[in-house]
Copies of this chain bind each other. A is one copy, B any other.
Amino acid sequence: MTTLETVRPPTNDTEERLLDAALTLFAEKGYEAASVREIIEATGVTRPVLYYYCSSKEDLFKRLVHWKHDEAYRELTKTVTDTKGCANRLRAIMRGSFAFCATDPRVPRLMFQTHFGPTIPGIAEFMTEVAKLRFLIVQQVIQDGLDGKEMSGGDAASLSLIFCCIMDQHINVLARLPKPKKRLTIELADSLVDVFLYGVGSGKRAPVSLPPFAAG
């Protein structure tokens, strides 16, 4: 149940405002383009203050991601344990992720832009590790669904990748548009799960058989 190594959440008020300003600017312009100068200016402090709380820009970013990820991860695991059945769980995951992202669109903007964007040395591996935790939850849910014959058509990894592609890219795209709260709705979440489960074709059902996912 531990996510990565535990990171203390911000205690000091200045530190929290610093992380919040960093969240805003990293989400808006990306890790590289958002400078520490802008971040400290938005916070209303001087540069050494930032380096008093964080050892580097990279450290600031990682602590920020950790902070928000832990929050999302806790909600996600609770969602899964509170729900029974594969289809219901997938619906709950999609709904919960949409709701979480709609609450503060800066978070998905930051996370997915960084994860799907160009590789940043020292950051990319970290993002991959963080994303893997989320992915494994989905994969376990789908594995249970395969075991319980609720679904079929491929291995858990391949199917999870499809599910996450649909979920994450919808969030990434829609969270960047205005009024994401109007877009990341429960109805859309449910419909996307329906498409994942039943498809959009009206013809008779063809047997789906994904090739196994080749790791490495």
Cβ of A122 within 8 Å of any chain B Cβ, yes or no, is no
**Contacts A29-B118, A170-B165 given: A198-B199 contact, CB under 8 Å?**
yes
A interface list, Cβ under 8 A from B: 28-33, 87, 112-114, 116-120, 149-154, 159, 161-162, 165-166, 168-170, 172-173, 176, 178, 182-183, 185, 187-188, 191-192, 194-203, 205-211, 214, 216
Least CB distance from A120 to B in Å reads 7
A201 touches B87 (CB 8 A): yes
Further pairs besides A29-B119, A87-B201, A182-B214: 20, Cβ < 8 Å: A28-B119, A29-B118, A32-B118, A33-B118, A113-B116, A116-B172, A117-B118, A149-B202, A150-B202, A150-B203, A153-B200, A162-B170, A165-B173, A169-B169, A185-B211, A191-B208, A191-B210, A194-B207, A195-B210, A196-B199
What's the minimum C-beta distance from A48 to chain B, rounded to whole angstroms? 26
A112 touching B116 in the complex, CB below 8 Å, given contacts A203-B150, A216-B178 = yes
Nearest neighbor of A29 in chain B, beta-carbon distance: B118
Check B205–A198 contact: CB distance below 8 A: yes
Determine which of B87, B113, B165, B199 lies in contact with A203 in the assembled complex, contact meaning CB atoms within 8 Å. Answer: B87
Chain B minimum-CB-distance residue to A152: B202
* Cβ B197 vs Cβ A197 within 8 A: no
**A201 vs B173: C-alpha distance when bound (angstroms):** 26
| Cα distance A178–B211 in the bound complex, in angstroms | 18
**Known pairs A87-B201, A200-B208, A208-B200; A195 contacts B118 (CB<8 A):** no
**Closest-CB distance, A114 to chain B (whole angstroms):** 7
Q: Which residue in chain B gives the minimum CB-CB distance to A192?
A: B162
Contact between chains at A191 and B173 (CB < 8 Å): no
- By CB atoms of chain B within 10 A, which of A151, A178, A207 has the most? A151
Decide: A200 and B154 in contact? CB cutoff 8 A: yes
